[in-house]
Amino acid sequence: MIELYRLSGCPYCAKVEDKLDELGLEYEQHNVMPFRFLRREVKKVSGQSGVPVLVDPEHDVSGMAESDDIVDYLERTYG
């Protein structure tokens, strides 16, 4: 299952969520802490602390960052 590390109120996260919803994809949300230094789980997955971060085990994506890259990936893979 696709996983999305996100922060409530983040417009970049909302952009990715909108694409996931548009494509009808089910995904698990991981709400992260607002302070970057507390985002250990995000750093473990992606090597950095920014969000959004996408994990898609079915296609060997283990920590894709940057909303534009994620949206492009979702469109190419599932669109």
pLDDT (tens, 9 = 90+) of the chain, 79 residues, equals 999 999 999 999 999 999 999 999 999 999 999 999 999 999 999 999 999 999 999 999 999 999 999 999 999 999 9
What pLDDT, on the 0 to 100 scale, is given for residue 79?
93
The span from the CA of 41 to the CA of 1, in Å, is 17
Residue found under tokens 């698990």: 28
Q: Domain residues for 43?
A: 2-78
* pLDDT on residue 48: 95
Looking at residue 32, its amino acid is V
CATH of the domain at 58: 3.40.30.10
Give how many domains the chain has, as a whole number.
1
Q: Which of 59, 47, 79 is nearest to 5 (CA)?
A: 47
The reported pLDDT for the residue numbered 29 is: 97
Taking the model in full, what pTM does it have? Answer: 0.94
